[in-house]
Amino acid sequence: MNKKWLSPTVFVSLMLAAASVQALPILLDFEGVGHAAVIDGFYGGGMDSQGNSGPDYGIYFNSDTIAVIDAEAGGTGNFANEPSPDTTMTFDSGSAVMNVIGGFDVEIAFYFSAFRDGLVSVYGGLDGTGDLLAAEALAPQAFDDCLGDPDGDFCNWTLHGVSFSGVARSVVFSGEPGTVGFDNITLGRSTSVQPVPAPQTLALFVIALSGLRFRGQFTSMPGL
Say if 171 falls within a structural domain.
yes
**Section 44-51 average pLDDT:** 97
The predicted structure's pLDDT at residue 218: 78
In a domain, 211, yes or no: no
What percent of the chain lies above the pLDDT cut of 90? 69
pLDDT band at 68 (very low <50, low <70, confident <90, very high): very high
* pLDDT digits 0-9 by tens, 205-220: 222 223 333 334 777 5
Name residues whose C-beta falls within 8 Å of residue 204's C-beta, 6 or more positions apart in sequence.
10, 14, 41, 44, 45, 46, 58, 60, 101
Whole-prediction pTM: 0.78
Q: Please check whether residue 63 lies inside any domain of the structure.
A: yes
Confidence at residue 21, expressed as pLDDT on a 0 to 100 scale? 58
200 located within any domain: no
The pLDDT-based confidence of 190 (bands split at 50, 70, 90) is: low
CATH of residue 150's domain is 2.60.120.200
Answer whether residue 57 shows pLDDT above 60.
yes
Q: Please check whether residue 146 lies inside any domain of the structure.
A: yes
pLDDT at 117 over 90: yes
Q: Which residue has the higher pLDDT, 145 or 99?
A: 99
Task: Give domain status of residue 81, yes or no.
Answer: yes
Return the ∠ at Cα 124 (arms to 121 and 126), rounded to 5°: 85
On whether residue 16 sits in a domain, the answer given is no
Mean of all residue pLDDT scores within the chain: 82
Residue 150: predicted pLDDT:
67
- Is residue 170 in some structural domain? yes
**How many independent structural domains does the chain possess?**
1
Which domain range does residue 102 map to?
Answer: 22-187
pLDDT at 97: 98
